[in-house]
Chains A and B, each alone.
Chain A
């Protein structure tokens, strides 16, 4: 899991049937410098499936790849980024 900052939300008006009711956040991954406040995130943002209700500005744990779809098993969903946790604090 990487740490990402939520910078926005996506809403869809058509979706894959398995994704009905899902909610999505736009997230930028945070580097070490970003986390230390020494630079602003500049990596490419991506969309993360969120069922925890992360708000704008939250730091979240992003599960990616195969593990991102694991929480839905035995259901199959085409999800490759999943919000696994909303971080209360990080201590560096």
Chain B
């Protein structure tokens, strides 16, 4: 699990069918200092309602994400677990 900041959203019409109806957030993970970007931003699906500028915990647990999506065939790995208060 990693802490990241929601920096934006993405939309797609042509996509894997398992992604239909899911909001796609662009999340930038950070290094331990909390300000240096850790590699490229990732696309994560979200059903928690996280918005731009919020700190979120994202998980790279593909099996967990497959269960969340309800599809064994989804190519999605990252999903939002929760929104950090502070």
Total interface residues on B, CB under 8 Å, equals 30
Say yes or no for B59: interface residue by CB 8 A criterion: no
- 18 A-B pairs, CB-CB below 8 angstroms? A1-B42, A1-B43, A30-B40, A31-B37, A31-B40, A32-B7, A63-B77, A70-B62, A70-B72, A71-B73, A73-B72, A85-B15, A85-B16, A85-B24, A86-B14, A89-B11, A90-B11, A91-B10
CB pair A3 B26 closer than 8 Å: yes
Top 5 closest pairs, chain A to chain B, by CB: A85-B15, A63-B75, A85-B12, A92-B8, A1-B43
**Given A70-B72, A71-B74, A90-B9, is A52 in contact with B40 using a C-beta cutoff of 8 Å?**
no
Question: Knowing that A61-B24, A88-B13 are A-B contacts, what are 12 other residue pairs whose CB atoms are under 8 Å apart, sorted by A's residue number?
Answer: A2-B42, A2-B43, A3-B43, A30-B41, A53-B14, A67-B75, A70-B62, A71-B74, A85-B14, A86-B12, A86-B13, A88-B11
A interface bracket (residues with beta carbon within 8 Å of B): 20 to 34
Cβ–Cβ contact B26 & A84, under 8 A: no
Chain A proximity mask over B65-85: 1 for CB below 8 Å, otherwise 0: 010000011111110000000
Q: How many A-B residue pairs have CB under 8 A?
A: 101
Is there an interface contact between A66 and B40, defined as CB atoms closer than 8 Å?
Answer: no
Contact flag A32-B37 (CB < 8 Å), given A66-B62, A84-B16, A85-B14: yes
| Residues from chain B with Cβ under 8 Å of A85 in the complex | 10, 12, 14-16, 19, 24
